């Protein structure tokens, strides 16, 4: 793996992946080419210090077939890690069109560029646990065999892209792997997402909108554990296989929000009750999935990956980072 194309490398997970791969800890020695459209969600400031001999940025849309083909040829790309996507569920409910364009047509364009130019390029497709739908409290966590059951425009667009990827594997034999991760948290996440949105509200002492009764459950994974898992799959993943990535940290939104209040109260030495008072129940998200949970046994057993970051420690450090870098 010498010439790695990362799509959406300026997004939350992308910047963490590129920073990790270009740090000595990863052992990656090749060159990274990052194509990103620079939507509102991108965080290009996180990549200003990347070494110019090993990192090239191209602003562009993955739905532009000519551009993708040109990149594959000009940089002799041998591996693609595909992250680019519209990623926010609420936006997909209010304005789904961009999700179909980038997530479905964008993935289709990447697959076509590979098929038509060099079908030996290895593609890793980054997907989400949301494609499996919603779990009840007592149902077992999603495995790689769980059926697809997407419930909102975002997850339906991601499920569509997964199906296209598998169809290109089956029909054309393209060398492909895929992963499904749980909710990520950590540095450089856009403030539309739950944890940074709540932290921004807490620092400004503004109301904290909790959807519905706050009982919905999410399974939290530190973004640095996620990018290590992706790197593990890029190096050792078996072609044609899918891997679930999770750290088994289930929290209801309400409990997590209380925890965030407690951590901010400790770090800013203010009474926690003043922060709890900011919590404001609001109308529920349309079609709100109740629970996501991932069974990560396969990647643990087959590839030896394990989440390393303890949730309490990881979230406390993230809150510290957030306070230090706010506003950003």
The 242-245 sheet, strands edge to edge: 55-59, 31-36, 3-7, 79-82, 122-128, 176-181, 242-245
For ligand TDX, the binding residues in 223-242 under the rule CB under 6 A are none
Determine which residue in the list 63, 87, 109, 161 makes contact with ligand TDX, applying CB under 6 A.
Answer: 87
- Site stretch for ligand NAD (CB under 6 A), options 18-26, 182-190, 204-212, 271-279: 182-190
**Token digits of residue 108:** 């289709």
- Does position 38 bind ligand NAD by CB under 6 A? yes
The secondary structure of 80-123, three-state, reads EEECCCCCCHHHHHHCCHHHHHHHHHHHHHHHHHHHHHCCCCEE
Burial class (CB in 10 A: 0-12, 13-18, 19+), 206: exposed
- Site stretch for ligand TDX (CB under 6 A), options 22-30, 165-173, 190-198, 304-312: 190-198
Contact assessment for residue 185 and residue 221, using Cβ atoms and an 8 Å cutoff: yes
- Site stretch for ligand TDX (CB under 6 A), options 106-114, 169-177, 191-199, 266-274: 191-199
37: partner contacted, choices ligand TDX, ligand NAD, none (Cβ within 5-8 A by kind): ligand NAD
- Does position 128 bind ligand NAD by CB under 6 A? yes
Determine which residue in the list 62, 89, 111, 165 makes contact with ligand TDX, applying CB under 6 A.
Answer: 89
Q: How many residues line the site for ligand NAD (CB under 6 A)?
A: 30
Determine which residue in the list 22, 33, 34, 36 makes contact with ligand NAD, applying CB under 6 A.
Answer: 36
**Token digits of residue 12:** 């939350």
Burial class (CB in 10 A: 0-12, 13-18, 19+), 304: exposed
Determine which residue in the list 34, 87, 134, 160 makes contact with ligand NAD, applying CB under 6 A.
Answer: 87
How many Cα atoms occupy the beta-carbon half-sphere of 7 within 13 Å? 30
How many Å apart are CA 298 and CA 276, to the nearest integer? Answer: 39
Q: How far is the CB of 275 from ligand TDX (least distance, A)?
A: 16
For ligand TDX, the binding residues in 101-130 under the rule CB under 6 A are 128, 130
Determine which residue in the list 18, 31, 41, 247 makes contact with ligand NAD, applying CB under 6 A.
Answer: 41
Determine which residue in the list 46, 77, 80, 102 makes contact with ligand NAD, applying CB under 6 A.
Answer: 102
What percent of the chain is helix, strand and coil (3-state, nearest 5)? 45, 20, 40
- Does position 194 bind ligand TDX by CB under 6 A? yes
How many Å apart are CA 122 and CA 230, to the nearest integer? Answer: 13
Q: How far is the CB of 108 from ligand NAD (least distance, A)?
A: 11
Q: How many CB atoms lie within 10 A of CB 145?
A: 9
Q: 3-state DSSP call for residue 34? A: strand
Determine which residue in the list 63, 102, 183, 244 makes contact with ligand TDX, applying CB under 6 A.
Answer: 183
Q: How far is CA 224 from CA 19, 45, 64, 84, 123, in A?
A: 10, 18, 30, 18, 21
Give the helix ranges, DSSP H, for the chain: 12-21, 65-74, 89-94, 97-99, 106-117, 153-172, 194-204, 223-236, 253-268, 272-276, 297-303, 311-325
- Does position 84 bind ligand NAD by CB under 6 A? yes
- Does position 88 bind ligand TDX by CB under 6 A? yes
- Does position 8 bind ligand NAD by CB under 6 A? yes
User: Which residues are the active-site residues?
Assistant: 129-130, 154
- Does position 263 bind ligand NAD by CB under 6 A? no
Q: How far is the CB of 139 from ligand TDX (least distance, A)?
A: 17
> Which residues of this protein are in contact with ligand TDX, per CB under 6 A?
87-89, 128, 130, 183, 193-194, 197, 209-211, 216, 218, 253, 285
> Which residues of this protein are in contact with ligand NAD, per CB under 6 A?
8, 10-14, 35-39, 41-42, 61-63, 83-87, 102, 106, 126, 128, 158, 181, 183-184, 190
């Amino acid at each position: 793996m010498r010439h790695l194309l990362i799509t959406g490398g300026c997004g939350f997970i992308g910047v963490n992946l590129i920073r990790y791969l270009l740090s000595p800890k990863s052992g990656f020695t090749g060159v990274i080419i990052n194509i990103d459209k620079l939507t509102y969600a991108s965080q290009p400031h996180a990549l200003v210090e990347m070494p110019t001999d090993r990192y090239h940025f191209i602003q562009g849309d993955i739905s532009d077939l000519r551009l993708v083909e040109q990149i594959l040829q000009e940089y002799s790309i041998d591996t693609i890690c595909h992250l680019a996507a519209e990623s926010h569920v609420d936006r997909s409910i209010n304005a789904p069109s961009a999700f179909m364009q980038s997530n479905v047509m964008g993935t289709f364009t990447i697959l076509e560029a590979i098929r038509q130019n060099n079908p030996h390029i290895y593609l890793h497709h980054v997907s989400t646990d949301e494609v499996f739908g919603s779990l009840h409290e007592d149902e077992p966590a999603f495995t790689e065999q769980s059926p697809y059951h997407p419930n909102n425009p975002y997850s339906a667009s991601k499920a569509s892209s997964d199906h296209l990827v598998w169809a290109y594997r089956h029909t054309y034999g393209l060398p492909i792997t895929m992963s499904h991760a749980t909710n990520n948290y950590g540095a450089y996440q856009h403030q539309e997402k739950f944890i940074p949105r709540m932290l921004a509200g807490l620092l400004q002492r503004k109301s904290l909108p909790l959807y519905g009764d706050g009982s919905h459950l999410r399974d939290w994974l530190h973004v640095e554990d996620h990018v290590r898992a992706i790197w593990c799959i890029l190096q050792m993943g078996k072609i044609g296989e899918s891997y679930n990535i999770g750290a088994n940290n289930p929290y209801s939104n309400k409990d997590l929000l209380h925890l965030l209040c407690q951590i901010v109260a400790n770090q800013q030495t203010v009474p926690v009750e003043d922060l709890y008072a900011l919590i404001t129940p609001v109308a529920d998200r349309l079609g709100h999935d109740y629970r996501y949970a991932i069974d990560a046994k396969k990647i643990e057993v087959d590839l030896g990956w394990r989440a390393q970051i303890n949730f309490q420690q990881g979230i406390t450090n993230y809150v510290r980072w957030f306070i230090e870098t706010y506003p950003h």
